Structure 1
């Protein structure tokens, strides 16, 4: 759980970093997503900032069967936070909530060992 939390916290910190423009934070999140994809694909992960969480995250994802697309969904939701908006439809709001909260919960369920009967 600590590794999963670290990845999620660091991801959110990139989006919320004070003093950086929205475009700088977008670029940082894209780089973070690229590093995630390399880690999930078994590639060599180059050290980076803010902390090198990816080797441990790769192990957690493999050990607990967390679908990498759930981590990508979280990053999609975090990206949606970069520009404040009012959601025009309930479906738009549902998609946002699923990405920023539902995907996190589904990742946690894998770590906790829940299996749908």
Structure 2
């Protein structure tokens, strides 16, 4: 993917659908009515573009920083009534669902943190990162789902962090290969792991206690999200329930597998997810 998207609107829409269909969130999106599904595809497409900018290995750092800055400008222009350039892909979702500019900017800032490289961030920095790259997306999503402000923001806060911490635990080795170590400094130090070199840290036999402590934190966020959903607030609740089921299953699988090397990949249990989709479709 190029650093700055320039495709026409129909091409962008098709690319958004294709990208979302191959993601772990596809089941949650597919149960939405078409207008909300289209809005979610646009948000997902935006997230994929800026995420690719941060992760694309070829271009120099300065070029990728400039590309993220350009997207900040495109989003500002969209809300200011100027020429939004490729951010036009978000125009209908913003207009129809009152999405907040600050949340799109937060996502870009989170990708900037990725680009700068995180190596054993302190807990506060890790929480900020999770808020930007995941809970901000949740705040955009719950508006599209039609949730009220208070339960919507509470759900975005907890479920976003649960999903992102699960991602971090799932992708420890892949992130280390990219020079990134998201495991928090306080937990690493408590385990006696003083290095912040990603390749060294993820090979340390004491890593299991760090991962298990972070898994417990993720589990607490899943429980908080479930408490919000159990209250049956207004809105389309099937997508967040499906996301929680999918990623909660991954977290369970990671804990059953254990944290010692070599770490086999753990994926979404498709049978379990299909059952949850059927349940939500019939009874949600």
TM-score (norm 1): 0.85
Q: Which has the larger radius of gyration?
A: 2
Q: Answer 1 or 2: which has greater helix percent.
A: 2
C-alpha spacing 1:67/1:23, structure 2 compared with 1 (3 Å): same
Offset at residue 59 of structure 1 (A): 2.2
Residue deviations 1:31-90, cap 9 Å, x none?
1111111112111234xxxxx3x2231221121011110000000000000122234421
Q: Distance in 1 between matches of 2:101 and 2:127?
A: 21
Q: Distance in 1 between matches of 2:99 and 2:84?
A: 19
Q: Distance in 2 between matches of 1:44 and 1:28?
A: 17
TM-score (norm 2): 0.37
Of 89, 104, 111, 1:78 maps to 111
Aligned length: 111
- Give the secondary structure class of the aligned counterpart of 1:86: coil
Q: Which moved more, 1:100-109 or 1:7-16?
A: 7-16
Q: Please give the root-mean-square deviation of Cα atoms over the aligned residues, in Å.
A: 1.5
C-alpha spacing 1:91/1:31, structure 2 compared with 1 (3 Å): same
Runs of 4+ in 1 over 4 A off after TM superposition: none
Q: Distance in 2 between matches of 1:21 and 1:91?
A: 29
Which residue in the other structure is 1:44 paired with?
83
> Which structure's relative contact order is higher, taking Cα pairs within 8 Å and 6+ residues apart?
1
C-alpha spacing 1:18/1:114, structure 2 compared with 1 (3 Å): same
C-alpha spacing 1:88/1:29, structure 2 compared with 1 (3 Å): closer
Which residue in the other structure is 1:108 paired with?
141
Which residue in the other structure is 1:49 paired with?
none
Q: Which moved more, 1:80-89 or 1:57-66?
A: 80-89
Please, which runs of 5 or more residues in structure 2 have no aligned partner? 1-39, 152-284
